[in-house]
Amino acid sequence: VGLDLIITDHHTIPDQLPAAKILVHPRICENSQAFPHLCGAGVAFKLAWAVSKRLGDGERSDARMRNFLKMAVGLTMLGTVADVVPLVGENRLIVKYGLETLQQQAGVGLAALMKEIGLMDKAALTAEDIGYGLSPRLNAAGRLGQARLAVELLTTNQADRASQLATYLDGLNKQRQTVERKILKHAREEIQNHPEWLEQPCLVIGHNDWHPGVIGIVASRIAEQFEKPTILIAINSNTGIGQGSGRSFAGTNLHEAVSTCTDLLESFGGHAAAIGLRVKQSQIDQFRKQLCENAKLVESAEETVPRRIDAEVTLAELTVKSIRELEFLGPFGCENERPVFVSTGLELAEKPKTMGEGGRHLAVRLKHYGCILRAISFGRGEWAEEMETAGERISVCFKPIINEFRGRENVELHIIDWKPDEALSAVN
């Protein structure tokens, strides 16, 4: 149509660049000093900042644009956390400042959503509040084919409409969780029916009944559970084309691995940790075979990745004060993980329980020399029965957090892994 285009992006740069007047990308110049790990929102924020300076005196923005940028940094923080980019360098500054100012700078719609899920009353926001609270509800709209509602929420100035949208998006997120659980259950059944897949360095699973908007989340869970890069493919029965979403594991460059199979794909893109693709249903088996034969993928995936533990502690050392001090290391996220600890010789203070729909999650109270703390593990409800029959004492690997409920603060453990003490003794 004869328009000059400015294209912003942060994904892996393709061999053939799009025809645009200007390309804004943090890694487009090999010798650039630009911070390379910005997400799409971060790139857009940098462009807005540059434009605002140009509209000012060339060095500083005027007061109106500065106020806009202060508001926009909260949205940039939201995108940075949601896209799971490394929380180092500029990203850490964006997230830190965004968390500190979001409750005051949020627009009408975002404030309504924060109120809906109880974030407006928190003394201080964390990256986990964004990653597990706000972003899933905004993403649910797009995942279930109603992205315009999330856009409307973020742009509306009408309080009543914002409240309606916030309530609807919260319900839509619950619907997304139900769809996700069904796909996760089905994917696990497919793996059980094909045990030979577990001998391969990568999992590639396709099915006709899966919702393409949710498979990325499930791929991440499967990758974590089976410790392999995972690609799930939702096949359209009418067209015979599958839409796939992949998540890496243990540092494998999934984009580089999949790029060796482009002759089998209709299209693909992404970055080292996550990819999206389109493939004909008739090519899925060959794609799985060719991807798993890739030497670089095999080499990376077969390496044993030890669990990094920062320190061994007793439960008595995990006070609200000591965990508050750990928060100075935040905001926590990709490549700046919350500290991981291990405690040994723990007893069960009571029978482990499951919680959540379908008993998805684990809840247990752990005891050590009279000190008792609550511990949970999301998506690991199957551990309840295993813990109960594990023996007298167990060792637990966890991340400690402060749980705020009805004005009270308590230390809570988020379990990453656990073993009977006898098993650790045998290894040692």
Q: What is the pLDDT of residues 163-221, one digit of tens each?
A: 999 999 999 999 999 999 999 999 999 999 999 999 898 999 999 989 999 999 999 99
Q: Domains in the chain and their CATH numbers?
A: 6-174 (3.90.1640.30), 194-301 (3.10.310.30), 311-427 (2.40.50.460)
What mean pLDDT is reported for the chain? 90
Helix (H, G, I), strand (E, B) or coil at 404: strand
Asked if omega into 420 is within 30° of 0 (cis), the reply is: no
**Taking 50 as the threshold, does the pLDDT of residue 130 lie above it?**
yes
Mean pLDDT of 275-293: 94
Q: Give the tokens for residue 359.
A: 């008993």
Q: Give the tokens for residue 79.
A: 């995108």
Among candidate residues 232, 176, 224, the one with its CA nearest the CA of residue 203: 232
In this prediction, residue 188 carries a pLDDT of: 94
Assess contact for 260 and 169: CB atoms under 8 A: no
Within a 13 Å sphere around the CA of 178, how many CA atoms are in the beta-carbon half? 7
In this prediction, residue 253 carries a pLDDT of: 87
d(CA 428, CA 424): 6
Torsion of CA 264, 267, 270, 275, to 10 degrees: -50
Mean pLDDT of 376-403: 92
Mean pLDDT of 373-400: 93
Torsion-angle region of residue 89: left (phi > 0), alpha (psi -120 to 50) or beta?
A: left
Helix (H, G, I), strand (E, B) or coil at 422: helix
Which of the four pLDDT bands, split at 50, 70 and 90, describes residue 418? very high
Please name the helix (run of DSSP H) or strand (run of DSSP E) that holds residue 377, with its range, or none: strand 371-377
Strands (E), 240-316: 241-247, 267-270, 274-280, 311-312
Residue 395 or 16, more confident: 395
In this prediction, residue 352 carries a pLDDT of: 95
**Taking 80 as the threshold, does the pLDDT of residue 417 lie above it?**
yes
In this prediction, residue 393 carries a pLDDT of: 93
Assess contact for 362 and 377: CB atoms under 8 A: yes
Q: Give the tokens for residue 2.
A: 């004869």
Mean pLDDT of 312-338: 94
**Taking 60 as the threshold, does the pLDDT of residue 427 lie above it?**
no
Non-local CB neighbours of 63 within 8 Å, separated by 6+ positions: none
Among candidate residues 92, 53, 97, the one with its CA nearest the CA of residue 73: 97
Where do runs of H (alpha helix) occur along 194-264? 215-226, 254-258
241-247 sheet: strands from edge to edge: 203-207, 230-236, 241-247, 274-280, 267-270
**Taking 50 as the threshold, does the pLDDT of residue 301 lie above it?**
no
**Taking 60 as the threshold, does the pLDDT of residue 74 lie above it?**
yes
* DSSP class per residue in 101-120: HHHHH--HHHHHHHHHTT-T
* DSSP class per residue in 6-54: EEE--SPPPSS----SEEE-TTSSTT--S-TT--HHHHHHHHHHHHHHH
Query: Which contacts (CB < 8 Å, 24+ apart) does range 157-165 have?
Result: 157/107, 157/108, 158/108, 159/108, 159/112, 162/108, 162/109, 162/111, 162/112, 162/113, 163/112, 163/116, 165/109, 165/112, 165/113
d(CA 424, CA 27): 45
Q: Give the tokens for residue 148.
A: 């315009």
* N residues, the chain: 428
Between 50-54, 115-119, 301-305, the lowest mean confidence (pLDDT) is in 301-305
